[in-house]
Structure 1
């Protein structure tokens, strides 16, 4: 590195772009960035940490998400991208088992941890220097402020005079009720930088990218306010309020409950994720245990099959969206023999919702996408703000998959879609 502003003769402002000057310079304990889609928040954070780790020879970084398995395709990949963009590939070594990155000239490390294994988060011992920085990506997934406090306490101890301790949170602001808003955005504190970014600060978007947001602005202004402008999502009139997040051992539950499986699949591809709901229902006690999920864009039918196979559910009976019979046929041919199409009919969505509303829904903490959806799945409104008797057409991929998966248990088999 030739200077603070250059990496291998690259000028950082040209590599990073605009909109993050305060973010780059701030050295207080908390940097909190809520932003829209394509606002560069994750990529800028990755570029920042690669640059600063090479600048501060005693610094180490801990990267955290709620579940460990989501780190590979998000932060790990973003940091590898940043290394390549800064043209410093020769100085970094990335390994995948476990996820870890090492700056070879000094031995500094980037550690990756999930809150699903809290002991590994709080017991990190570094080989070189000190653990002074933490990046929490998709911080909205952390629904318990207590869990954040545990993370906060792990960045402690003395640091060299030229270093500083700092925690960076990046997230999409889906829900204004989240504890992050009150803790970081609703008060003034010199130790906090709370900022909002959106796609308009991303100078590398082309016309087709911008058109996505312009169409969203016209067709779905509610979503545009959050996913486009980065404003807080105002959640009013939730469809489901009968749920709680709670860790549970499925094998222990099976011993004391008469559980039946409920697996549902909603197809997506470019703009929407393919979503697999994996649940177990106790009909007698009216309890639904949400155990696992798949939630990913860009999946071919073969890749959907491979994912379900790796998850261990290829032999389960899966009820899928009947709007894609070719996809169902292909998945059957590939090896998911017990997949079938859901039944659809008049008032099917509302009938399914009413039935599920009678259940107590217990969600395993690793089902982060399910928690995000159910926290935001609400009744739609007309242009005057009056509630309609239909849910919004958003945050509904796993919600739809849940209804498909539970279809077979509706009393009298009258639950039609």
Structure 2
């Protein structure tokens, strides 16, 4: 194979020169949406896997099922962007990529199966690189330490061991801030922040989204636009823990009832399905599954819910979308019903849930992100208002809909 010459300016663009050439152990990049961090990282791994014959890479997210539509897709894009698809073998079951000239591999694992993360044996060279995408999802620093320890041992001459973390910085209290961004200078750490303004590949319509956000939602713009840490003050729910539990065992417990809620979205907001159990006697809510995806038609929502195994469940959906509810019922979600809502329904639902202990399964990463950022709104003077922010609320709303029958009394109507 001919030696490739990659033009950073043409392929990657500006803003990532230090990131591209850094060889210390920890390369940490927090950034806004559209800041190129994931695409640049994908390009780096494909380029350098071909440059270093002994290198193998492990790509990790908190849950395995989220890898296909994120890192795996980004790496396939990078292979095509670099014009080297003939040199890579790509498998989807299980997810795996092999550089055919040498046999080097890119492995994909989720923290929801820790044994598979720590027991990887490579055929060629050494496992020296790791990419943790959406690292914000890893809320327990000990989980990261386990990953850190898996990149160990001797490497071939010329190679180096490195872990790359990329994420959106939703919460200033996350352990990564103290460990990487607030730490004294360490030559083994590159901690950087990027935002959409260094992405010269965005068109005018893309940039307008951020300019509108800047005017209409400055709080979100600070994080999603500029890549700053999210300042979390006035959390609505502090009565929760993240803890793995046996879903089937909980389902068999006395007094346990299942509950499902659906919040509609499309272009800018995700459609969100909340799946949980409630134990009214012991005041415990268990959150065990979720759907969280943008651009979903009613047909796709039906297909996804059916694939998840919840088509026959009683689902309470946002009553602002009666046509969508009717369509989903026609498609086969026969037990879907509209939420009753009403005056003060948001605050009443919040009051009800605040009396419970909420136990969240680690695979519910979007729910964990929302509940750790769902706060009371403030006025222009910074005074707290008696209403939640209109953000991080899709699964929060879906949870309220799901539990409506327990807080208001259970009725069932198709009206």
**TM-score (ref. length: structure 2):** 0.97
Corresponding position of 1:223: 220
| Offset of residue 288 of structure 1 | 0.3
| Offset of residue 12 of structure 1 | 3.6
How do residues 181-330 of structure 1 correspond to structure 2 at under 5 angstroms?
Answer: 181-187=177-183, 188-330=185-327
1:350 equivalent among 338, 347, 350 = 347
- Say whether residues 1:35 and 2:31 are aligned partners: yes
Q: Which string of whole-angstrom CA distances, capped at 9 and with x for unpartnered residues, describes residues 377-415 of structure 1? A: 00001111110000000000000000000000115569x
| Offset of residue 241 of structure 1 | 0.3
Q: For this pair of structures, how many residues does the alignment match?
A: 410
- In the superposition, relative to structure 1, how do residues 411 and 265 fare at CA in structure 2: closer, same or farther (>3 Å)? closer
Q: Secondary structure of 2:372's match?
A: helix
In 1, distance between residues paired with 2:79 and 2:219? 36
In 2, distance between residues paired with 1:226 and 1:259? 39
In 2, distance between residues paired with 1:376 and 1:201? 27
Q: Which string of whole-angstrom CA distances, capped at 9 and with x for unpartnered residues, describes residues 47-87 of structure 1? A: 00000000000000000000000000000000000000000
- Say whether residues 1:65 and 2:73 are aligned partners: no
Cα contact 2:251–2:277 (8 A) shared by 1 = no
| Offset of residue 13 of structure 1 | 2.5
Q: Secondary structure of 1:376's match?
A: coil
- RMSD (CA atoms): 1.1
1:388 equivalent among 379, 385, 389 = 385
- Say whether residues 1:335 and 2:326 are aligned partners: no
Q: Secondary structure of 1:277's match?
A: strand
In 2, distance between residues paired with 1:400 and 1:19? 38
| Offset of residue 254 of structure 1 | 3.0
Unaligned runs of 5+ in 2: none
Corresponding position of 1:17: 13
In 1, distance between residues paired with 2:250 and 2:216? 44
In 2, distance between residues paired with 1:298 and 1:413? 32
In 2, distance between residues paired with 1:65 and 1:169? 10
Q: Secondary structure of 1:256's match?
A: coil
**TM-score (ref. length: structure 1):** 0.97
Corresponding position of 1:147: 143
Q: Which string of whole-angstrom CA distances, capped at 9 and with x for unpartnered residues, describes residues 154-193 of structure 1? A: 0000011200000000000000000000000001211000
In 1, distance between residues paired with 2:295 and 2:63? 21
| Offset of residue 253 of structure 1 | 1.9
